[in-house]
Amino acid sequence: MTYFLFSGTALVLEASKEKLRNYNMRGMRVILITASFAAAYEYVWNMFAWFTTWYRNGGALDLTANTFHNHTFLPLNFNFATKTSFLIFAVCLYCWYFFQRLESHKSPAHE
């Protein structure tokens, strides 16, 4: 599912490249780089928490749940949370790179 969502995002961006050339994406790039930093932080935190919980409690690594915080619902599985954080990080970083590349290749007619 992670690969599918990342590939889908890349395909949609590549398909809309000509339409997106007409817009100024500087603000969006700032938001995307900030979101990718936050997602990277969450990814690293999840990895440390995941392995710390597994080290303390033992058991199957993929079934280790985050029980450190009070949740409204069931405790979140670290496997899912880590994949989701990495997906958000990768998509934000790719979108930032895409918009950066798009602006650097803008023709004078589009400015």
What would the pLDDT profile of 85-103 be if each residue is shown by its tens digit? 899 999 999 999 999 988 8
Q: Domain for residue 20, yes or no? A: no
Q: Domain for residue 52, yes or no? A: yes
Closest CA relative to residue 47, chosen from 55, 58, 59: 55
Q: pTM value? A: 0.75
Q: Domain for residue 82, yes or no? A: yes
pLDDT at 79 over 60: yes
Tell me the average pLDDT of the chain: 81
Q: Domain for residue 70, yes or no? A: yes
Number of domains in the chain: 1
Domain residues for the domain of 40 are: 25-105
Q: 18-32 burial string, b = 16+ CB within 10 Å, else e?
A: eebbeeebeeebeeb
Q: Domain for residue 47, yes or no? A: yes
Q: Domain for residue 15, yes or no? A: no
